[in-house]
Amino acid sequence: MTIFDNLSPEDALILTNAIAIALAKDKNADEINVLGNFIVGVGCLLLTLASQKQFIATDVNPTGNNNNNPGDDIFVG
């Protein structure tokens, strides 16, 4: 994703704004809501994938063994 790696935060904001305006042009409120909810859904799934990849990467120590210590388990209740 080289185009996004080189963007400053301000440039990313301007690009996002321009995309939103372009997508919303000539659409009514219902169409914009559907499109926005679709994009939010895709974003949520991307965040879930990224967090799971990050979790898996940090759950394996440098020797390649899983950190299966009993103290690492999550207890709910």
pLDDT, one tens digit per residue, over 44-57 is 999 999 999 999 98
Closest CA to 19 of 2, 30, 7, 49: 7
Task: Give Cα 24 to chain centroid, integer Å.
Answer: 22
Q: What is the pTM of this model?
A: 0.65
Domains of the chain, residue spans: 29-59
DSSP label at 34?
Answer: H
Rounded-to-integer distance, Cα 20 and Cα 11, Å:
14
Rounded-to-integer distance, Cα 1 and Cα 60, Å:
26
pLDDT, one tens digit per residue, over 27-75 is 999 999 999 999 999 999 999 999 999 999 887 755 556 666 666 667 6
